[in-house]
Amino acid sequence: NRGVMWKGRFSKPTADLVQRYGESVSYDWRLFRQDIAGSIAHARAQLKAGLLNREEFDAIESGLKDILKDIEEGNFTWSRELEDVHMNIESELTRRIGAPGAKLHTARSRNDQVATDTRLYCRTEIDEILEKVRRLQRALVMKAREYADAMMPGYTHLQRAQPVTMGHHLLAYVEMLNRDADRLKDCRRRLNVSPLGSGAIAGSTICLDRHEIAVELGFDAVTENSMDAIADRDYIMETLFDLAVIGAHLSRLSEDVILWCTAEFGFATLSDAHTTGSSLMPQKKNPDVAELTRGKTGRLYGNLTAVMVAVKGLPLTYNRDLQEDKEPLFDSIDTIKLALDVNAEMIAAMTVNTERALEAASDPMLLATDLADYLVRRGVPFRQAHELVGKAVAMSISTGTPLHQLSDDQFASISDAYGTDARSVFELTKAFSQRTNPGAPNSENTRRRIAYWENVLSK
Ligand code: ARG
């Protein structure tokens, strides 16, 4: 039971099962950088407050830096008996430098320590995730430029709806990812506040300069309520929510890709490098990456739910339940980082079968709405126009005549609102060029938005 930090009050060692049950070092070891940075900042504040002399501070700082180096090089043995990353590092420091190490925990608790470490950790990870979001956006924009004018059907209810382009379709995801990035930046701004100095719950009678510690650690401010600072985990929920939404978006992209790669759609082909074969069926080429992304999104939702539920019934302030925040957080961060990377690679190497997509987009039914708009321009109220086109569609189906091949007489038999130029609406390129409003899938809009994103994402 070496190094246990509360030995004064206890006469029996912690039961082995309890140690196994309660230890977190097997996963929270990854907070070591943040923990060490936090400890150095805390020690510097102690030096300024006269609680440490220069020699003691130097011993603590260089001792912690040596430990950091050893951990990074894999030369550090984590001990389950010491529960968590915080106690492992502190006790190793004291083992190495002796007396000054035992002063480090003055005016600090693991409660404000863990909150500090986790906020710093989220901040670093959010920055990395933001870079990965941009990488995926770049891949999507690159593909959008390649297939800016590749016409394909757009779907609602997974039924062919109206023609769009692959460029427009892919740019939809770039917009979603941009809001995802904004959400993360907003979350980062909110969580970048220092809890250090809140102690276990009620601060400390030994007052270190909280602002100076915050500045050293790159925090924008200090928390204003010690109980809030210790108890709150909303920054974790918020991070997990933001990652879950990215997952939702990636999952929908995955589903699109999966459909496009079927023989039934045949709009896209993935690189061999991003697909897998079947152990039995020699012909198979499966979009496993997309399926895994879709599947892993369930974990992202589950992790968010786990933390929300763990927090909801807890009285203020710290309860050990809160230790359960870390595995979901780490899992979501690991999952989303890999998902963003592999999806960027997969999209960058995807080819679009433009002929097949165009053939599907050339289904005249996709322009039935354009035909209704044509009638509207000839003075027919839209609701009536809708019905008149519906009748033309029904006639097309019952006579087996493609919609754009109904004769003048057939159109005239439905309504004299149809002119002899009615069939001209079925020109696909014209159908696109008439959609001039912002946000619509015409070539000019698409190219303007691609240029916009290329510029934004190159910075
Ligand atoms: N490993 C703990 C956690 O993650 C650190 C805080 C422990 N505090 C305590 N009072 N037991 O929550």
- The answer to whether residue 7 scores a pLDDT higher than 90 is no
Average pLDDT over residues 56-85: 97
- The answer to whether residue 1 scores a pLDDT higher than 60 is no
Percentage, residues of the chain above pLDDT 70: 99
For ligand 1, atom 1, the nearest C-alpha belongs to: 84
347 close to 166: Cβ distance less than 8 angstroms: no
- The answer to whether residue 3 scores a pLDDT higher than 70 is no
Q: What is the ipTM of this complex?
A: 0.97
- The answer to whether residue 123 scores a pLDDT higher than 80 is yes
DSSP codes joined into one string, 90-126? HHHHHHHH-GGGGGTTTT--HHHHHHHHHHHHHHHHH
The confidence score (pLDDT) of residue 149 equals 96
Average pLDDT over residues 369-386: 97
Average pLDDT, the chain: 96
State the pLDDT confidence band at 4, using cuts at 50, 70 and 90: low
Q: Residue 329, class by beta-carbon neighbours within 10 Å (0-12 exposed, 13-18 middle, 19+ buried)? A: buried
| Helix 326-348 and helix 110-146, axial crossing angle in degrees, nearest 10 | 10
Average pLDDT over residues 155-174: 98
- The answer to whether residue 245 scores a pLDDT higher than 90 is yes
Domains in the chain, CATH or no CATH each: 7-106 (1.10.275.10), 129-147+166-350 (1.20.200.10), 362-458 (1.10.40.30)
For ligand 1, atom 12, the nearest C-alpha belongs to: 323
Structure tokens at 453: 């994103």
Average pLDDT over residues 365-388: 97
- The answer to whether residue 5 scores a pLDDT higher than 80 is no
Instruction: Give the angle subtended at the CA of 33 by the CAs of 16 and 31, to the nearest 5°.
Output: 40
Instruction: Give the angle subtended at the CA of 133 by the CAs of 447 and 456, to the nearest 5°.
Output: 40
Pocket of ligand 1 from Cβ distances under 6 Å: 24, 28, 84, 110-111, 114, 318, 320, 322-323
State the pLDDT confidence band at 65, using cuts at 50, 70 and 90: very high
From the list 215, 209, 208, 212, the residue with the least C-alpha distance to 192 is: 215
* Interval between CA 325 and ligand 1 midpoint (Å): 11
Could you give the residue numbers annotated as active site? 157, 278
Work out which ligand 1 atom sits closest to the CA atom of 318: 10
Q: What are phi and psi of 402, to 5 degrees?
A: -55, 145
Q: Distance between CA 169 and CA 257 in Å, rounded?
A: 11
The confidence score (pLDDT) of residue 80 equals 94
Tens-place pLDDT, residues 304-337: 999 999 999 999 999 999 999 999 999 999 999 9
Average pLDDT over residues 334-358: 98
Q: Distance between CA 230 and CA 232 in Å, rounded?
A: 6
The confidence score (pLDDT) of residue 292 equals 98
* Interval between CA 110 and ligand 1 midpoint (Å): 6
Tens-place pLDDT, residues 33-48: 999 999 999 999 999 9
Buried b (16+ CB within 10 A) or exposed e, 439-451: eebbbebbeebbe
Average pLDDT over residues 340-346: 98
339 close to 247: Cβ distance less than 8 angstroms: yes
Instruction: Compute the chain's Rg from CA coordinates.
Output: 31
Average pLDDT over residues 378-404: 97
Average pLDDT over residues 138-148: 98
The confidence score (pLDDT) of residue 2 equals 47
The confidence score (pLDDT) of residue 6 equals 78
The confidence score (pLDDT) of residue 120 equals 98
* Interval between CA 139 and ligand 1 midpoint (Å): 41
Average pLDDT over residues 2-10: 73
The confidence score (pLDDT) of residue 414 equals 97
267 close to 354: Cβ distance less than 8 angstroms: no
The confidence score (pLDDT) of residue 8 equals 85
